[in-house]
Amino acid sequence: MEELLKHLTEVSIRQQQIMEHMASRQGETERELAALRMAAGARTPLPDPRVQATQLLPRMTSHDDVTTYLQMFETVATREAWPKAEWARIIAPLLTGEAQRAYFTLPPELNESYEELKKEILGRMGLSPFSAAQLFNEWAFNPRQPARAQVANLSRLAQHWLLAGCPNAHQVAERVVVDRLLRALPRPLRQAAGMRNPANVDELVEAIELAEATQHREVGERAPPFPQRVVQERIICDRFHWPGLEAEVRRFCQACPTCQRTSPQTPPPSPLIPLPIIEVPFERIGMDLVGPLPKSARGHEHILVIVDYATRYPEAIPLRKATTKAIAQELFLLCSRVGIPSQILTNQGTPFMSRMMADLCKLLKVQQLRTMVYHPQTDGLVERFNQTLKQMLRRVTAEDNRDWDKMLPYVLFGVREVPQASTGFTPFELLFGRQPRGLLDVVREAWEQQPAVHRTTVEHVREMRERIDRVMPIVREHLVKAQQAQQRHYNRAAQPREFQRGDHVLVLVPTAACKSFSTWQGPYTITEKVGPVTYRVRQPGRRRRDQLYHINLLKRWAGTGPQLSAYTKATPVVVDMDPQLYAAQKTELQHLVSQFPDVFSPQPGRTHVLEHDVRTPPGTIVRQRPYRVREARRHAIEEEVQEMLRLGVIEPSHSPWSSPIVMVPKPDGTLRFCNDFRRLNEVSEFDCYPMPHVDELFDRLGRVWFISTLDLTKGYWQVPLSEQAKPKTAFSTPNGHWQYRVLPFGLHGAPATFQRLMDVLLRPHQAYAAAYIDDVVIHSETWEDHLERLRRVLLELRLAGLTANPRKCHLALSEAKYLGYQVGRGLIRPQKKKVAAILSAPRPTYKTQVRAFLGLAGYYRCFIPNFSSLASPLTDLTRKGQPEKVPWTSETEAAFHRIKAALTTEPVLRAPDFNCPFLVQTDASNTCPELSSASPWKPSSHICSCSSRAERPHLRIIKSCLLKHSKRTQR
């Protein structure tokens, strides 16, 4: 037994030795491996922390919290044992946005420090200790968010505020004291001290004391102006001064045309006008087009959007082409389902403005409403639904946008079963009187497994009607509340504005290069106020001369006004007025005239209402050699041509047409430049527009007490020629070939064109204004009416671009000279100047002179009873077969003097008063029948004519018809 124990002991000792030997060998092996590993590590470079950082950390995005991102970076950098001196370089490639700009704006000696970089980043992001303190004090618990997350956020704010740069508790307490003291200071001191960014209590106290010492200087004292400005003001104000200098300078600067068109400031919007509430489904629908969209697999590129204004029920129909025909077809299909609407509101797009759409609406008795240009807010319901529809389609077709037309029905179903914000009900319920059975209803029914309630058709219809009758008042109430809320929100920045007829405005319209970029264009003129916020604007030079605009697209144009200086004196417009007016009346009239300096001008204007055209047969050209001009008249011709070039009346020409010119002497000895257009008039078409009858013009004056006459400045020159007519008016002078740009004198169609222009302008004022070519007359019975009527006519001339010669205008006269007559106060008499010309006429020798005298005296034949009988001997001298040199006898001499004597008795006629009875007298000799009409005490007209030889056998019939003629003419 002992031997066995001894043997076991030896064996264990041997095994122990073996184990110790093996352990020593293993230790040696490990030391060798460690040495080899160290040698290999010395030869192999360590991985670059910046490369490793891009693998371990994501790049900062705009959605990341800056503080959390920096804490994550610090954790990873500490774990990976990156040198802290390299942290700034490692994080720099990972920064974006404002954090990246903070790194690059730091000086080179500071952007290598991670602590400085972190401080700059947090400061730029508004996460400094002071901002963290403000957030900490303003923190409030939100019951909708998890409590654990909110507490963690609050703890992070406290740490960022209190532990940033504070190694001990004393500094933490001092930071709390600084923050509490800053919050307790008055606002001026808090702002002044906070700008110095105090780090401890001592710095804060110094900032407060400095602010208190300088605070009193801010009250009642003003820093001296800039020296250069003082010099400029002294130089200007010492030499120039007048009352209201600053106000005029301010107005002058505000009237700068460039600043007005390019200023970013826009006028405040006009208060919102709510749309009418529609209660009948599909009584009014809004319609618009969306597109072009990406072409679908079925070739659709547009969407026709239709929304009912009563129920907000939408329709969206895909279209291959946005044409009127396609829209009309879909509109008919819609009418087959819901009925024909009463009104359709659309924008002014081409498919909606076409003749086919107008004919369709006329056929279906549908009122077609249109929004104003560049103001889609009128159809805001459809415009807002367009945005919602496009957003929903964008989300459901994110994978394949070629199937957007397939997804339209599903998108519409989702919109129709959701309660609308303004009504509080779903569009489906308001239209059909019940809720639709949607997917959620199917799930609920599957879970509940309840049998459906059986109802008859009559019960269903009755229940649907009762439901609609019960719901519609609630819908109206909700719509009214929604409109009121929208109106309150919109009208916060709104201000009432208004323009008057004739005001000059700028219009905000898109540019031709980019429709999304708008500029102010103009100035244009307001011609009419169509609605509360809608104005008709006349814009010459644009495709549409008159256009409706919303007031939010208009801005008042500030005119430059007259320019004053020390060397030029302001010359107000001087117009002749009745000297018998009271001083107050003269002041009012002068004030009215001063409002139209552009109308009372000696320079001819240029109208845009119409153009004159000269129509000639095709292939016809009038080409005449110019008349020979005397050398003494060449200078006068050259001066006249230069003046017409300055006024824009003529321009150089290359036309094959040519008419000669003639220089006609004036009574004052000067020469008048005239064109001989006789050949051109022979080949051109005649304009048969009727001219007004002079007697009818005087009949309209009646018993008025105030008359104003306006003479347009070179009236014909204010009417432009058409492009086709300009070459036909060409003429030659010794110095060149020219053509007219405006209507010249001498064309036989000129009077008709100008009379047509004046009739168009004065048609709204025909009750108190009339015109015979370029002579305008305005009449009234009271002073107030006359001022208002005169203002309206002047405003009409301004809108038409016409001017009147102030030297030839006469305002508010009791008796005025008009068309050779002296009219006023119900009386009509010949002008003394014209009568003097007749009295001084020499005895005629030739037949043409006899005709001239009869024409001159015959203009006043209505004042001379039995004029035809008196002038019969002279009329016989002009008959066919009589010699050219008239035989002057005692009978003709007596007739010659009797006519002159009849005009020297100052004949007076009374303007007819059609409210009073008339006395008609008729008489007839063997050669001259006569008719006279008169009021009970004054004659109003004389009608007399000589019978020809062919009429004399029928003179008895003429005599019997005189009474019928008088009744017809005086009726």
Per the CB < 8 A criterion, the answer to whether 655 and 730 are in contact is: yes
- State how far the alpha carbon of 822 is from the alpha carbons of 456, 731, 811, 837, in Å: 91, 40, 15, 16
φ and ψ at 892, to 5 degrees? -70, -35
Distance CA 786, CA 814 (A): 12
Look at strands 343-346 and 284-290 and give their pairing.
parallel
User: What's the fold here for domain 49-215?
Assistant: DNA breaking-rejoining enzymes fold (1.10.4020)
Single-letter amino acid, residue 250: R
DSSP string, 526-548: EEEE-SSSEEEEE-TTSSSSEEE
φ and ψ at 136, to 5 degrees? -65, -40
Contacts of 853 (CB under 8 A, 6+ apart): 838, 841, 844, 874, 896
State whether residue 823 is helix, strand or coil: strand
What pLDDT is stored for residue 196 in this prediction? Answer: 65
Chain-centre distance of CA 370, in angstroms? Answer: 17
Longest pairwise C-alpha distance within the chain: 203
φ and ψ at 905, to 5 degrees? -85, 10
What pLDDT is stored for residue 730 in this prediction? Answer: 92
Residue for token digits 């002991």? Answer: 9
Q: CB neighbours (10 Å) of residue 269?
A: 17
Assign domain 631-804 to a CATH class.
Answer: alpha beta
What pLDDT is stored for residue 740 in this prediction? Answer: 92
Per the CB < 8 A criterion, the answer to whether 866 and 898 are in contact is: no
Distance CA 300, CA 284 (A): 27
Q: Which residues are registered as beta bridge partners of 810?
A: 576, 709
What pLDDT is stored for residue 960 in this prediction? Answer: 53
Listed as ranges, residues in the chain with pLDDT below 50 are 42-44, 217-219, 561-570, 931-934, 936-938, 940, 942, 945, 947, 951-952, 954-955, 963, 966-967, 969-971
Assign domain 828-970 to a CATH class.
Answer: alpha beta
Report the interhelical angle of 49-56 vs 66-79 (nearest 10°): 130
Distance CA 908, CA 257 (A): 56
Distance CA 548, CA 534 (A): 7
Look at strands 314-319 and 302-308 and give their pairing.
antiparallel
- State how far the alpha carbon of 548 is from the alpha carbons of 371, 510, 533, 567, in Å: 10, 15, 10, 44
Q: CB neighbours (10 Å) of residue 672?
A: 12
Structure tokens at 117: 């970089």
Sign of CA dihedral 872, 876, 877, 879: positive
pTM: 0.50
DSSP string, 139-191: ----TTS-HHHHHHHHHHHHHHHHTTT--SHHHHHHHHHHHHHHHHS-HHHHH
Distance CA 863, CA 905 (A): 10
Q: Outline where DSSP puts E strands in 417-545.
A: 504-510, 518-529, 534-538
Buried b (16+ CB within 10 A) or exposed e, 476-497: eebbeebeeeeeeeeeeeeeeb
Buried b (16+ CB within 10 A) or exposed e, 844-860: beebeebbebbeebbbb
Q: Which uninterrupted H or E stretch holds 882? A: none
DSSP string, 40-103: HHHHSPPPPHHHHHHHHSPPP-TTS-HHHHHHHHHHHHHHTT--GGGHHHHHGGG--HHHHHHH
What pLDDT is stored for residue 339 in this prediction? Answer: 86
Single-letter amino acid, residue 697: L
Report the interhelical angle of 750-762 vs 783-800 (nearest 10°): 120
What pLDDT is stored for residue 564 in this prediction? Answer: 41
Q: Which residues are registered as beta bridge partners of 817?
A: 822
CATH of 284-434+464-479, one of 3.30.70.260, 3.30.950.10, 3.40.50.720, 3.30.420.10: 3.30.420.10
What pLDDT is stored for residue 445 in this prediction? Answer: 66
Contacts of 907 (CB under 8 A, 6+ apart): 829, 830, 860, 863, 864
Contacts of 644 (CB under 8 A, 6+ apart): 650, 673, 738
Q: Which strand ranges, in their side-by-side order, compose the sheet holding 821-824? A: 816-818, 821-824, 827-830, 909-910
